[in-house]
Amino acid sequence: EPPVLQFDVTSDTEPREAFYPIHSLERFMDWVKNPALLPLWEVLKKIAKELEGPLDLMREDLGYYKLVKYYTKSQFEPFLAICIQKTHVSLYLPPLGRNQHLVLTMPQPLLRHKTGKATLRFFSEGDTAIEHLPKLLQDCLHTWVDAGIIS
């Protein structure tokens, strides 16, 4: 049975809550580049949600999740974004690009997913490299604590 997501639907008369299997959400999420990657996106988002205490949730839409640290309503420092692409799910992690020591200490399974200064690409929710993400995210968070961005 496919996973079921809660989704607000507006009928012709009034908004209502509805539950739809992922395969029937296609008409509501044309902007999601590859709905088949939603389970992987959910796995990565669940790991990142653990950081919502010290960080601020900027956006959480189907296929896109972003954590930042707000200074004011319009000024913020980006920490993480998880986005579904056509063939993979990207994890953008700006602290990784600014702290080279984090890259030097990354486990080899995660290094194989690194595609840019601050980008990791994942293709499957069963990838064993994902088990190393919580520590990497905590290490990135600690660099922000050390830099005084968060307390």
CA 88 – CA 147 distance, rounded (Å): 32
Rg, Å, the chain Cα set: 17
pLDDT confidence of residue 107: 95
| Interval 105-131: pLDDT, tens | 999 999 999 999 999 999 999 999 999
pLDDT at 32: 85
What is the distance, to the nearest Å, from the Cα of residue 60 to the centroid of all Cα atoms in its chain?
9
pLDDT tens across 62-101, in order? Answer: 999 999 999 998 999 999 999 999 999 999 999 999 999 9
Instruction: Look at the alpha carbons of 24, 30, 36, 37 in this order and tell me if their dihedral is positive or negative.
Output: negative
pLDDT at 19 over 50: no
What pLDDT score does 30 carry?
Answer: 63
pLDDT of the residue at 53 = 92
pLDDT band at 25 (very low <50, low <70, confident <90, very high): low
For the chain, the average pLDDT equals: 85
Average pLDDT, integer, range 42-62: 95
